[in-house]
Amino acid sequence: MALKDSILGFLRHHRDNILKYGIRGSIFIFGLLFVAASFVFTYAYFTVGIPDPKAFVNSQSTIIQYADGTELGRIGSENRTIVPLAKIPLNLRHAVLAAEDRNFYSEHAFSPQGLARAIWDNIKSLGNGGGGSTITQQYAKTAFLTPERSIQRKIKEIVIAIKLEEQQSKDQILENYLNTIWFGRGSYGVQTAAQTYFGRNVNQLSVAQDAMLASILRSPNYYGPSYTDGLNRLKARWQYVIDGMVKEGWLDAAKAKAMKFPTIAPKVTSGALAGPKGYLMAYVSAELLKLGFTDSQLQVGGLVVKTTLEPRAQMAAQDAVLKRIPTKAPADLRVALVSIRPGTGEIVAMYGGRDYLQSQLNNATQSTTQAGSSFKPFALIAALQNGISLQSTWLGSSPAVYDDPNANTIYSVYNYSNEQFGKINLLDATAHSVNTVFVPLGMKAGLQNVVDVARKAGIPESVQMWATPSVSLGVASPHVIDVASAYATFAAQGIYAKPFMVKEVLGANQGVLFESRIQAQQVFSADVMADLTSALQGVVKYGTGGAAVNGLNRPAAGKTGTTTDNASAWFNGYTPQLATSVALFRNDGTQTLNGIGGLGAVTGGSYPAQIWNSYTKVTLKGAPIIAFPAPANIGGTEPTDFTTAVPTLDPSLAVKPTSGLKKTASPKPTKKN
């Protein structure tokens, strides 16, 4: 900066004399400057190195794709896609040359005449004039230098431009230039600019569109169509480019005369991570980092990441939430959905929230809330593994009080609205989600067994669970993805598969850097899963989850989940092809959902089941209808009486819920005297 300041100070001091004496004054000044500049240039030529051109040209954002190869979004500070010169239309190349440097192929790395004009312009404006740069200079500045306006930077620019032409052909320089230059709207390079301004690939542009992209290069801010009067300036510049193409013989005059200024796509101002998409991008980024890729690789490595996400499923998830959740829902309402391919662990859809820019907490993978009756299948599996039949009978009276000698406590359990069932078999108790059956069921099957089943199904160690009577009623607070993974295990007939979203990663040279491997194992027997599914089919056929299969017309199974005070509501369901969990809760997971949309009670059978239904119908439309395996009838078909399997205490000892008789997520423990 010292050299720049001294020269500008000199120019300011002698400005009046320069302007007064015109050419003679200019010669005097240029003579003084020539000696100094010659020395500085010679020094710079031997001291300024040229970075590896490929290091910048090949730096580009990471492209995230859906499973079918269509683009989901990009990660990286620079939105760039590299296109070989041979695939860049000749008309676009000619348009850029007409706009920026018509003598590119015949001139050297820099133009002395242009530089002289730029110096004189800067003398008159005291450093605020134009640059007089050739395309080679522009590429050198864009690729290897900062945008500061200084004499030192200009000298480095010229030196690098000269050295570039010593190493690269004109075609190579033009290709690199077209792939690195800034077009505004967050886009670098002609391919990304074509997508940004016209929504198409560079080889699909018309000549008029080619000329428009070339026109904006001079100053994307000044000529930007979204800026004040920018569109009028851009149209004038566009006409200049068209005329230049005609003058150089690159465009027929008659075609040019008939050409109209093209329609430009509206500018997207909400940001690349706005809306539900941001949660997907953040999840993919986190998964890539866990796989060993670095931040630098994600930002400028030009990776192509194919995910397991399916576009129709993802759009169906977002549309289902938008369609089913009332517009006047509380601002702190959280909605989450995760859908997994059974047996593979592939996440085909995820809804983590309404807008990532407003909240970066992913409701599907980071937020937690009590699972409620979503956990009852774990107790059912533990019972089936112990030979307890679905036809066994239990006592569904409410309230019921149970003794837990291990914890020196007694547990009071109420059914939803204190509903009375009397003697009821496990099939019906599952369909109607009877709390006073599932607590003794878990105790009879073994509370630690219930915990072990949940772990094997897919509930990770990070989710705290204790072997207490309340475990069967879902007092634990998992992530939605955890529960979706567990129900995918049910759908896959006992095969647990670790959930994942990154399927394949290609490098900038299209080489395969990573390929996913399905991590699956059989954790439950097929017979146990067949009986479990039979019970969970009853939930949607005649139980609490009927809204999930309205008009679905294919076999489905599932379980609602509703917690104390209706603070969280779940529906977890599956077909043989897809397992999906939907959850609603508010920020802290303790406020009631009741009243949303005018509903007196928001349960798992309301909005969550409706969202599941809308999503599944669209996603599986046209897919084969596959039947579940027939029940294995573990323990026989004759009913066994378990009404006294776990002794109950005097019901008068029951501690009533303080907020009314709701479907209790956790029994009320009371210390024994």
Of 450, 110, 516, 112, nearest to 284 (Cα)? 516
Instruction: Please check whether residue 232 lies inside any domain of the structure.
Output: no
DSSP labels for 634-668? TT-SS--B-TTSS-B--GGG----TT-S---SS-E
Q: Residue 33: enclosing H or E segment and its boundaries? A: helix 2-47
More confident call, 651 vs 495: 495
What are the residues whose beta carbons fall under 8 Å from the beta carbon of 591, sequence distance 6 or more? 332, 567
Query: Catalytic residue positions?
Result: 100, 373
What's 453's domain CATH number?
Answer: 3.40.710.10
Angle between helices 376-385 and 447-457 (to 10 degrees): 110
Does the pLDDT at position 568 exceed 50?
yes
Q: Which of 399-413, 519-533, 562-576 has the highest mean pLDDT?
A: 519-533
CA distance 664 to 566: 9
* Contacts for 646 with CB less than 8 Å, ≥ 6 apart: 402, 439, 440, 443, 444
Average pLDDT along the chain: 84
Contact 70, 518 (CB under 8 A): no
Percent of the chain with pLDDT over 70: 80
Out of 134, 166, 198, a domain closes at: 166
pLDDT in tens, 433-469: 999 999 999 999 999 999 999 999 999 999 999 999 9
Across 47-51, 642-646, 662-666, the highest mean pLDDT is recorded for 642-646
What confidence score (pLDDT) does residue 255 get? 95
Reference 444, options 635, 208, 656, 293; nearest CA is: 635
Q: Would the pTM of this model clear 0.75, i.e. be above it?
A: no
How do 187-188 and 79-80 pair as beta strands? parallel
Which pLDDT score, from 0 to 100, does residue 12 have? 53
Question: Which of 34-48, 305-319, 325-339, 644-658 is predicted least confidently?
Answer: 34-48
Distance CA 375, CA 345 (A): 20
15 pLDDT tier (thresholds 50, 70, 90)? low
In a domain, 147, yes or no: yes
Which DSSP string do the residues of 214-225 spell out, in sequence order?
A: HHHTT-TTTS-T
Q: Is residue 274 part of a domain?
A: no
User: Which residue, 166, 183, 204, sits at the end of a domain?
Assistant: 166
Hey, which residues does 337 pair with through a beta bridge? 351, 582
- 580: which strand partners? 339, 573
Residue-level pLDDT at 151: 60
Inside any domain, residue 658 = no
Ranges 196-200, 298-302, 488-492, 511-515: which has the least confidence: 298-302
For residue range 137-177, list pLDDT tens digits in order.
777 666 555 444 556 656 666 766 677 676 778 898 889 88
433 or 135, greater pLDDT: 433
200: which residues sit within 8 A by CB, 6+ positions away? Answer: 194
> Is the predicted pLDDT of residue 48 greater than 60, yes or no?
no
- Is residue 617 in some structural domain? yes
As beta bridge partners, residue 520 has 497
Q: What is the pLDDT of residue 578?
A: 98
Overall number of domains in the chain: 2
The predicted-structure confidence for 290-315, as pLDDT tens digits, reads as follows 999 888 788 778 899 999 999 999 99
Residue 14 lies inside a defined structural domain of this protein: yes
Domain that holds residue 386: 338-653
Does residue 551 form part of some domain?
Answer: yes
For residue 19, name the pLDDT band (cuts at 50, 70, 90).
low
Q: Is residue 602 part of a domain?
A: yes
Q: CA 53, CA 149: separation in Å to the nearest integer?
A: 22
